[in-house]
Chains A and B, each alone.
Chain A
Amino acid sequence: MIIKKIKTTAKDLLTDGSVSLIIGYGINGPGDVTPVFIKDPDDVEKLVWNDQCYYNLIRYLSDRDFIEQNNGSIGIIIKGCDQKSLKVLLSESQVNRDKIKVIGVTCKGLMDSDGNVLAKCEACDVVYPDKDFCDVIIGEEVKKKEKEKDFSDIDEIDSMDLPDRKKFWDNFFERCLRCYACRNICPLCYCKECIMDQHNPQWVLPSASVVGNRLFHIVRAYHLTGRCVDCGECERVCPIGMPLRKINRKIIKVVKERFDFESGKDQEQKSPLTRYRENDSEDFII
Chain B
Amino acid sequence: MNKRILVIGGGIGGVQAGLDLAQMGIKVTLVEAKPSIGGRMAQLDKTFPTNDCSTCILSPKLYELASHPNVDIFSYSTLDKVDKKENGFQARIRKKARFVNEEKCTACGLCSEKCPVKIPDLFNKEITTTKCISIPYAQAVPAVYKIDKKHCLYFSKGKCGICQKVCTAGAIDYEQKDTIETIDFDAIIVAAGAEEYTPRIRPEYGFGIYDNVVTSIEYERILSASGPTGGHIIRPSDKTAPGSIAFIQCVGSRDISSGNYAYCSSYCCMQATKDAIITREHDQNACSTIFYIDIRAFGKDFDKFVDRAQSEYNVKYIKSRISEIIEKPKTKNLAIKYITPDGRINTKEFELVVLSVGIRIPDQIKELMTELGVKLSEYGFCPCDAFEPGITNVDGIYVCGTLMGPMDIPETVMSASAAASMAARGLLSPEISSEIIKEKPAEIAIEEKYLKIGVVVCHCGVNIGSVVDVPEVVKFAGSFRNVVFADELIYACSRDSIKYIIDKIKEHDLTRFIMASCSPRTHETLFKSALEEAGLNKYLMQMTNIRDQCSWVHQDNHEEATEKAKDLVCMAVGRSRYLQPLHELDSEVNKACLVIGGGIAGMMSALFIADNGFRAFLVEKDTELGGNLLKINYTLEEKNISWLLGKIRERVQEHPLIDVCLNTEIREIKGYVGNFTTNLTSGKEERNIEHGAVIVATGGREHETESYGYRDESYVVTQREFETMLLNKNPMLKYAHTVAMIQCVDSRESDKNYCSRVCCGEMVKNILQLKNDYPDKDVYVLYRDIRTYGMLEPYYTQARKTGALFFRYDIENKPVIQKEENGEFIITVYDEILRRYIKLRAQLIVLSVGIDPLETNDQLARMLKVPLNEDGFFHEAHVKLRPVDFATAGIFVSGLAHGPKYINESVSQAIAAASRALTIITKDKIRSEAHTAVINEVRCTGCGFCVDVCAYNAIEIDKEKNIAAVNTLMCKGCGSCAATCLSGAVDLSGFTNKQLIQEFQELFL
Q: Which residues of A contact B (CB under 8 A)?
A: 92-94, 190-195, 198, 200-201, 203, 223, 270-271, 273-275, 278
Task: Flag if A195 contacts B957 (CB, 8 Å).
Answer: no
Asked if A201 meets B994 with Cβ closer than 8 Å, knowing A94-B943, A192-B941, the reply is yes
**Which residues, 925 to 945 on B, are CB-close (under 8 Å) to A?**
938-945
What residues on B are CB-neighbors of A92 within 8 Å?
Answer: 941, 943-945
Cβ-closest chain B residue relative to A225: B982
What residues on A are CB-neighbors of B980 within 8 Å?
Answer: 273-274
Give Cα A190 to B945, complex, Å: 14
What residues on B are CB-neighbors of A194 within 8 Å?
Answer: 983
Asked if A93 meets B983 with Cβ closer than 8 Å, knowing A190-B941, A192-B938, A201-B994, the reply is no
What residues on A are CB-neighbors of B944 within 8 Å?
Answer: 92-93, 270
What is the number of contacts between chain A and chain B, taking CB atoms within 8 Å?
A: 50
What residues on A are CB-neighbors of B997 within 8 Å?
Answer: 201
Asked if A195 meets B943 with Cβ closer than 8 Å, knowing A93-B957, A200-B994, the reply is no
What residues on B are CB-neighbors of A195 within 8 Å?
Answer: 982-984
CB distance from B958 to the nearest CB of A (A): 11
What residues on B are CB-neighbors of A191 within 8 Å?
Answer: 939, 941, 982-983
Task: Flag if B962 contacts A93 (CB, 8 Å).
Answer: yes
Asked if B57 lies at the interface with its beta carbon under 8 angstroms from chain A, I say no
Task: Flag if B982 contacts A223 (CB, 8 Å).
Answer: yes
What residues on A are CB-neighbors of B993 within 8 Å?
Answer: 201
Task: Flag if A275 contacts B983 (CB, 8 Å).
Answer: no
What residues on A are CB-neighbors of B948 within 8 Å?
Answer: 270, 274-275
Task: Flag if A193 contacts B943 (CB, 8 Å).
Answer: no
What residues on B are CB-neighbors of A275 within 8 Å?
Answer: 948
Task: Flag if A193 contacts B939 (CB, 8 Å).
Answer: yes
Q: Which of B939, B943, B982, B983 has the most CB of A within 10 A?
A: B982
CB distance from A282 to the nearest CB of B (A): 12
Asked if B903 lies at the interface with its beta carbon under 8 angstroms from chain A, I say no
Cβ-closest chain B residue relative to A62: B941
CB distance from B700 to the nearest CB of A (A): 22
Number of interface residues of B (CB under 8 A): 22
Give Cα A274 to B982, complex, Å: 12
What residues on A are CB-neighbors of B322 within 8 Å?
Answer: none
**Which residues, 920 to 974 on B, are CB-close (under 8 Å) to A?**
938-945, 948-949, 957, 962
A-B contact list, 23 entries, CB within 8 Å? A92-B941, A92-B943, A92-B945, A93-B943, A93-B944, A93-B957, A94-B943, A190-B941, A191-B939, A191-B941, A192-B939, A192-B940, A193-B939, A193-B984, A198-B984, A201-B994, A201-B998, A203-B984, A223-B982, A270-B945, A273-B980, A274-B949, A274-B980
CB distance from A87 to the nearest CB of B (A): 14
What residues on A are CB-neighbors of B941 within 8 Å?
Answer: 92, 94, 190-192
What residues on B are CB-neighbors of A278 within 8 Å?
Answer: 870
State the 3 A-B residue pairs at the shortest beta-carbon distance, nearest first.
Answer: A274-B948, A191-B983, A92-B943
Pick the contact of A274 from B938, B939, B945, B985 — CB < 8 Å?
Answer: B945
Asked if A192 meets B983 with Cβ closer than 8 Å, knowing A201-B993, A201-B997, the reply is yes
Q: Which of B938, B945, B980 has the most CB of A within 10 A?
A: B945
CB distance from A276 to the nearest CB of B (A): 8
Give Cα A273 to B976, complex, Å: 12
Pick the contact of B942 from A94, A200, A271, A273 — CB < 8 Å?
Answer: A94
Give Cα A273 to B946, complex, Å: 11
Cβ-closest chain B residue relative to A275: B948
CB distance from A223 to the nearest CB of B (A): 5
Give Cα A271 to B949, complex, Å: 11
Pick the contact of B983 from A193, A200, A201, A274 — CB < 8 Å?
Answer: A193
What residues on B are CB-neighbors of A198 within 8 Å?
Answer: 984
Give Cα A172 to B309, complex, Å: 51
Bitwise interface map of B from 968 to 1005 toward A, beta carbon under 8 Å scored 1, else 0: 00000000000010111100000001100110000000
Cβ-closest chain B residue relative to A274: B948
Cβ-closest chain A residue relative to B996: A201
What residues on A are CB-neighbors of B945 within 8 Å?
Answer: 92, 270-271, 274
Give Cα A191 to B985, complex, Å: 10
Besides the contacts A92-B945, A94-B943, A203-B984, what 14 more A-B pairs have beta carbons closer than 8 Å? A92-B943, A93-B944, A93-B957, A94-B942, A192-B983, A193-B939, A194-B983, A195-B982, A195-B984, A198-B984, A201-B993, A201-B997, A270-B944, A271-B945
What residues on B are CB-neighbors of A201 within 8 Å?
Answer: 993-994, 997-998
Give Cα A203 to B985, complex, Å: 13
CB distance from B621 to the nearest CB of A (A): 30
CB distance from A192 to the nearest CB of B (A): 5
Give Cα A276 to B199, complex, Å: 44
